[in-house]
Amino acid sequence: MPANTILSVLDQSPIAEGSTAADALANTLDLARLADDLGYHRYWLAEHHASPALAGAAPEALIGPVALATRRIRVGSGGIMLPHYSPFKVAETFRLLSALAPGRIDLGLGRAPGTDGRTAFALQRDRSRRMPHEDFPQNLAELIAYLDDALPDDHAFAALAGTLPSGGGGSPDVWLLGSSPDSALWAAEAGLPYCIADFINSDAAQLADLYRRRFEPSGHLAAPHLMVATWTIAADTSDEAERLAAPARMMMAHLHRGTLIPVPSVDKALAWLADHPAASQRGRRTVLGTPAEVRAGLDAVAAQYGADELMLVNILPDHAARRRSYELVAHEYGLASLAAAA
């Protein structure tokens, strides 16, 4: 990657076994302050429902506290799962957040439910039928039109755009998130920046090509802009980074069996994986190792996708180790000096 590398953080607010959601949220605020000081560019909060391992059920509720606890870092959603919500409600909420932290709010949008089918159904207000997903492009267009005050005059809700919270904050920067061709096409057709979830689909380089080929300039963006979110763990030694990767591997193995668990300790995960050797195999890309090894891995990811930015995500039960991971990467890239210069 170039010298002026743009790196960001995706926080899923992990709940370590034996701890609480309150502990996880305190750690989120602490990590956000650290990321701000270290020179990371964005701090995004994920949306996951009915999970014993992840406390971030409502990124729109976390963005305000994180924005007020930090100074310069952009804060946003990674992402808001739009099928659960009214486009107008999302527009109101994020214009309110933009008034709270002018020029620092990102609205990352996704189509995935962020949970299992039963919980997704429970999130619906109307239980008479399961909500269709094919109306996502229409809901996305309606949301953007509210933010841009661009609904046609004859639209039933045209007058509502003028009622959105204001006060000099402007509108959030809208991103589309995904790991499938649909999301790449929607981002391209809407002329939006696009974030590929490499930590979900590590064979998604073709999505970057599709996005760039089909991109249509818009009032939001003149040319394609791509960010890639990838699983990243840095430690002082390669062996320690491998150890720290064990809890997430144990969690993923249980998830594939239909079981959700809190984030186990490293020792518990290593013992479980030793008894289940097939589960110890990496099922997705993990960039891990010493700072130099992580930098080489991240540079390779950026080159593979032609990425303009990278977003780093991990789930660790030890908050100190998680802080250390982001510190090591930031120092390796010299993020603090780059942020100061900017």
Q: How many domains does the chain have?
A: 1
Alpha carbon distances (Å) from 313 to 8, 12, 189, 199, 236:
9, 8, 27, 8, 18
86-122 pLDDT tens trace: 999 999 999 999 999 999 999 999 987 666 777 677 7
Alpha carbon distances (Å) from 44 to 72, 162, 185, 284, 294:
14, 28, 23, 21, 21
Query: Can you tell me the distance from the alpha carbon of 243 to that of 233, in angstroms, rounded to the nearest whole number?
Result: 10
> Is 175 within the bounds of a domain?
yes
User: CB neighbours (10 Å) of residue 159?
Assistant: 10
Give the residue from 244, 236, 261 showing the smallest Cα distance to 329.
Answer: 236
**For residue 212, what is the domain's CATH number?**
3.20.20.30
> Is 1 within the bounds of a domain?
no
pLDDT of residue 284: 80
pLDDT of residue 279: 76
Alpha carbon distances (Å) from 15 to 207, 231, 263, 304:
32, 18, 6, 32
Alpha carbon distances (Å) from 50 to 18, 57, 120:
17, 8, 10
pLDDT of residue 281: 63
Query: Can you tell me the distance from the alpha carbon of 179 to that of 228, in angstroms, rounded to the nearest whole number?
Result: 10
Query: Can you tell me the distance from the alpha carbon of 154 to that of 167, in angstroms, rounded to the nearest whole number?
Result: 27
Tell me, rounded to whole angstroms, the distance of Cα 53 from its chain centroid: 16
194-244 pLDDT tens trace: 999 999 999 999 999 999 999 999 999 999 999 999 999 999 999 999 999
68-80 pLDDT tens trace: 999 999 999 999 9
pLDDT of residue 112: 79
Using an 8 Å Cβ cutoff, are 290 and 80 in contact? no
Give the CA count within 13 Å in the CB-facing half-sphere of 242. Answer: 8
Tell me, rounded to whole angstroms, the distance of Cα 125 from its chain centroid: 25
* Domain carrying residue 67: 7-341
> Is 14 within the bounds of a domain?
yes
> Is 132 within the bounds of a domain?
yes
Query: Can you tell me the distance from the alpha carbon of 128 to that of 106, in angstroms, rounded to the nearest whole number?
Result: 33
Query: Can you tell me the distance from the alpha carbon of 146 to that of 172, in angstroms, rounded to the nearest whole number?
Result: 12
Task: List the chain residues with pLDDT less than 50.
Answer: none
The CA-based angle 110-112-114, given to 5 degrees, is: 105
DSSP letter for each residue of 46-111: ----S-SSB--S-HHHHHHHHHHH-SSSEEEEEEEEGGGS-HHHHHHHHHHHHHHSTT-EEEEEE-
> Is 238 within the bounds of a domain?
yes
Summary count for the chain: helices (H), strands (E):
13, 9
Using an 8 Å Cβ cutoff, are 229 and 195 in contact? yes
